[in-house]
Structure formats: structure tokens, C-alpha cells
């Protein structure tokens, strides 16, 4: 509910009272007093759309991003404030992200000197997709600077068309690119080692315990997906089947499938994700042919791999490789 409180405070700038904002979802302000309660993604989207209509401000995502504070993320924010480095903050966000939203998942990839933080949409964000993505990625830059006391160069890629209101806010995010295959932040990998100015090891242990307990209370098995991901890769190139992974976990395939469904993920989606990530690394960091990359990620033919890669990224493998070669870290230092 802290995200709703943030929105309530923001719309006051346009003289919109909380009662008028909340009327669209039939919730009173007193019902928001529990900071750990949550709204369904669809309800939150409805609220954001109503806020845009009431304020008449299409670029609401930028305003939300500018006022973003780590405390809005509850126990996860508490953990981030206590972490030792920016890398640890990212790991906490990826591990406990479901505590503040199930709309997106977070994944970190480091290739040579470049770190990419990917945000994969898990829900239909509808008409407010731009608000959600801009406020999140732009807001995380604000939070990162506050946590480290430094402003590191960051590129922002968004998988949405350039909105008509963008020219009004271009000065706030000159390194923001629209129409990209992914939603991600790209930065120098060394930035991940920046220390957090409020680091506190004892407080971090407490915050981690609170996050673990909260996830368990929501019914999430935080280890299950990671265990499955670790078991997917076979000793040879390729991926284990559902039955093979289940056997190694001493479960029936039916039980594993059901437990994954409860975590809102499917086995096939996990395999797809591992294939995509491995393919991206191989295309960027090796001289392997497209045929060889296809074989390494367990596709029977290059054409099948090309179709899958285009579905993942909106690009062909060859185009993705060319784009990677053209983009150097000098772009990050602009």
C-alpha cells in the first residue's frame, strides 16, 4: 500500500483529494493503513489510469520516478538501506521482488564490463504500461544515487513506443531509449561494487529475515524456482526435461508442475528463460556461428532458434550480435 500512498501524495499537487482518487477502486484511505497489504495488479493499474485522468498529466511516470524513495518498498527497502553494495541491493530486489509486486521480475546479467538489469513483464499493464515502466526504471536511478551517494552513468531501455509527451521530459533522462527489445538498465559493472552509505550488517540480517517470513506468509517457496533453474542444465549441452528435474528433486513431475504453478511460473517458461539468457551471452561474447549457438541452447535447427530469438527480443540473432558490437561502454559514459 505504500505505492498507493505515494500516488496519493503526488496527485495532491494537482489538488486531487485522496477520496476522489480512491473512489474508482472503492477503497477508503483508512483501509490503506496496513503498509503490508497489497492491491491486485489490475486494481493498481486502474488507480494509475484514474490518477492520470484526474491530473491531466500524461507523463505521470516521471513524477512518480522523481519522488521515488527506497522506503516505498517496505521490508525490501529496509534491506536495501542496510546492504553492503549496490550488487547486494540488486540481488535482494530480485529475490524478494514479489513482496511489492508480481507485475515484473528482475534479473541481473553481467557480461565483461557491462551489467544489465532486466525487468520482465509478468502481467498486462494495459494503458498505464508507460507509467509503470518509466516510474520504475527512472525511479531506480533516483534510489541508486541516494543509496550510494553517487550518480553513475546509466542507460535505460524501454520496450514501449516513444510517448508523445517525451520531449517535455527528455532533459530528465537523456539516455532513455524507447522501442527496445527489453526493459533494462545498462551500466558499468564496476558500479555494482559501489558501497551503500547506510550499510548495517546487523540490520540487514533482520531485514532479510522479515522478507523471508513475509514471502512464506504469502505462500511463496523462494527456493523452488532457483533449485529448478540450477537443475535445468544437463552435464552436456541441452536441458533436462520436467521428469528429469522432478526426479532429481525427489518429486513426481505432476507435483513439481503444480508447485511451480503456485509460484506463478511454468517449467517451459523457465527453460525458455535459460535458453534466452545463454543465447544472449553466447551471441555477445563468442565467435560461434548462429548454427552453433542454436545447438548450444538445444534447438534442433537454426531456423527454430531464429524464430524463438525473435519472439524473445523482437530481433534476429544476427541483428542482436551487430547491435552488441556497435554498443560500447563509451555509450554508458556519455
Please report, for the chain, the start and end positions of each structural domain, with discontinuous segments joined by +: 60-193, 223-326
Q: Give the confidence band of 61 by pLDDT, cuts at 50, 70, 90.
A: very high
**Across residues 174-191, what is the average pLDDT?**
89
Per-residue cell: 24: 474508482
Distances (CA, A) of 15 to 10, 19, 143, 166, 314: 10, 12, 27, 24, 42
Residue 329's pLDDT is 44
Does residue 22 surpass a pLDDT of 50?
yes
Question: 334 pLDDT exceeds 60?
Answer: no
What is the pLDDT, as a whole number, of residue 328? 45
CA separation for the pair 98, 222 (Å, rounded): 10
Tell me the pTM: 0.77
d(CA 270, CA 229): 7
Say if residue 8's pLDDT is above 50: yes
Q: Which of 122-131, 229-238, 296-305, 316-325 shows the lowest mean pLDDT across its residues?
A: 229-238
What values do phi and psi take at 162, rounded to 5? -65, 120
Which helix (H) or strand (E) segment holds residue 156: the answer is strand 154-157
Enter the C-alpha cell of residue 5.
500512498
pLDDT > 90: percent of the chain = 44
* Mean pLDDT, all residues of the chain: 87
Span 223-326 CATH architecture: Orthogonal Bundle (1.10)
Share of the chain above pLDDT 70, in %: 93
29 has pLDDT over 90: no
Amino acid at each position: 500500500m505504500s505505492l498507493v500512498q505515494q500516488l496519493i501524495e503526488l496527485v495532491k499537487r494537482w489538488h486531487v483529494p485522496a477520496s476522489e482518487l480512491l473512489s474508482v477502486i472503492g477503497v477508503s484511505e483508512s483501509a490503506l493503513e496496513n503498509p503490508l497489504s497489497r492491491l491486485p495488479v489490475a486494481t493498481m493499474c486502474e488507480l494509475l489510469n484514474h490518477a492520470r485522468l484526474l491530473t491531466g498529466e500524461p507523463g505521470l511516470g516521471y513524477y512518480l520516478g522523481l519522488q521515488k524513495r527506497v522506503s516505498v518498498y517496505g521490508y525490501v527497502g529496509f534491506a536495501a538501506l542496510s546492504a553492503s553494495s549496490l550488487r547486494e541491493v540488486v540481488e535482494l530486489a530480485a529475490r524478494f521482488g514479489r513482496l511489492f509486486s508480481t507485475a515484473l521480475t528482475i534479473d541481473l546479467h553481467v557480461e565483461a564490463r557491462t551489467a544489465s538489469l532486466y525487468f520482465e513483464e509478468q502481467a498486462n499493464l494495459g494503458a498505464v504500461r508507460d507509467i509503470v515502466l518509466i516510474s520504475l526504471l527512472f525511479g531506480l536511478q533516483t534510489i541508486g544515487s541516494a543509496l550510494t551517494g553517487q550518480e553513475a552513468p546509466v542507460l535505460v531501455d524501454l520496450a514501449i513506443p516513444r510517448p508523445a509527451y517525451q520531449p517535455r521530459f527528455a532533459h530528465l533522462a537523456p539516455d532513455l531509449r524507447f522501442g527496445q527489445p527489453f526493459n533494462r538498465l545498462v551500466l558499468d559493472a564496476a558500479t555494482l561494487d559501489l558501497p551503500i552509505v547506510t550499510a548495517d550488517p546487523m540490520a540487514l540480517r533482520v531485514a532479510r529475515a522479515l522478507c523471508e517470513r513475509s514471502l512464506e506468509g504469502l505462500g511463496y517457496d523462494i527456493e523452488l524456482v532457483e533449485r529448478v533453474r540450477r537443475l535445468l542444465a544437463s552435464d552436456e549441452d541441452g536441458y533436462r526435461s520436467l521428469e528429469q528435474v522432478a526426479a532429481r528433486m525427489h518429486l513426481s513431475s505432476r507435483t513439481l508442475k503444480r508447485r511451480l504453478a503456485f509460484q506463478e511460473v511454468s517449467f517451459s517458461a523457465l527453460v525458455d528463460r535459460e535458453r534466452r539468457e545463454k543465447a544472449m551471452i553466447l551471441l555477445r561474447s563468442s565467435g560461434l556461428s548462429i548454427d552453433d549457438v542454436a545447438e548450444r541452447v538445444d534447438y534442433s535447427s537454426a531456423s527454430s532458434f531464429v524464430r524463438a530469438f525473435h519472439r524473445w527480443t523482437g530481433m534476429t540473432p544476427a541483428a542482436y550480435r551487430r547491435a552488441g558490437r556497435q554498443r560500447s561502454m563509451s555509450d554508458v559514459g556519455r
